[in-house]
Amino acid sequence: MNTVKVKNLVLGEGIPKICVPIVAKTKREIIEEAGSFRAIPVDLVEWRVDWFEGVEDLEQVKDVLSDLVAVLEGTPLLFTFRTAAEGGERAIDPAAYAALNKAVAATGLVDLVDVEAFIGDAVARDIIEAAHGEGVKVVASNHDFGKTPPMDDILYRLRKMQDLGADIPKIAVMPQSRTDVLRLLEATTIMVERYADRPIITMSMAGTGAVSRLAGEVFGSCLTFGAANKASAPGQVGVQELSEALQLIHKSMQ
């Protein structure tokens, strides 16, 4: 299994890394929230730009990014516009989605961009190729807030992301039962053991799926999302508690 290195962060080995999302509407709120991360264990920061009130103005996005990078002081940054179709704050035309992600990758201010794998093959490939051309890594993602798909479908989605050329495939699904959580964890293990040649991220959402956010080292998910202030998805655990749980599981595996 290959690893993915972003600045000094290596994804795909050891304890799963912790990503903390920023979900805020104004530049002031975004920068203040980022500043508060100095006091918590965070490996990667995700800016959920779909929450930002000025997202339709590229110059405002770039302005925030410039100050955000300065405040983060070397912590890698993941840029994400989560579409309404996948649980985000607003809808966006695929062409505008591609233009935004490509323009942001070209600024040199972000380390990774999130590309929704099912936005359309041509659009996804276009963004991935452009990002790689700028030296930016890509997380290909898929979010199912309604259900946990069958095993074959979960594996199909993850393998498709790999085929699209993403550096890290990611899937998040909603459990309707405890059995759904087990299915997601089993699919993660099968993907890692049989198909993946790069790190993957998987999670089962809501409280029922919280174990999937803690046990990535056991089953094969390289990164987990924790909440510092406002959670960006159902079931996110507080960062401090998340870090302690990850450390405890890591020690038990030695």
- Does some domain include residue 88? yes
Range of the domain at 178: 4-247
Q: Check residue 237 and give its pLDDT.
A: 74
Does any domain span residue 175? yes
Within-domain flag for 72: yes
Any binding-site annotation on 82? yes
- Domain membership flag for residue 8: yes
Looking at the structure of the chain, the number of domains it has is 1
Residues 15-63: tens digit of each pLDDT: 999 999 999 999 999 999 999 998 899 999 999 999 999 999 999 999 9
**What pLDDT sits at residue 59?**
98
Instruction: Check whether 232 is labelled as a binding-site residue.
Output: yes
For residue 37, being part of any structural domain is answered with yes
Q: Is a pLDDT exceeding 80 seen at residue 234? A: no
80 falls within a domain: yes
Q: What is the CATH number of the domain that holds 60?
A: 3.20.20.70
Q: Would the annotation count 194 as a binding residue?
A: no
60 is in an annotated binding site: no
Would you list the DSSP string of the chain?
---EEETTEEESSSSPEEEEEE--SSHHHHHHHHHHGGGS--SEEEEEGGG-TTTT-HHHHHHHHHHHHHHHTT--EEEE--BGGGT-SB---HHHHHHHHHHHHHTT--SEEEEETTS-HHHHHHHHHHHHHTT-EEEEEEEESS----HHHHHHHHHHHHHHT-SEEEEEE--SSHHHHHHHHHHHHHIIIII-SS-BEEEE-TGGGHHHHH-HHHHTB-EEEEESSS-SSTTPEEHHHHHHHHHHHHHHT-
In a domain, 11, yes or no: yes
Would you say the pTM of this structure is higher than 0.85?
yes
pLDDT digits (tens, 9 = 90+) for 75-99: 999 999 999 999 999 999 999 999 9
Q: Annotation-wise, does 236 bind a ligand?
A: yes
Q: List residues with catalytic annotation.
A: 143, 170
Q: Indicate whether 253 belongs to any domain.
A: no
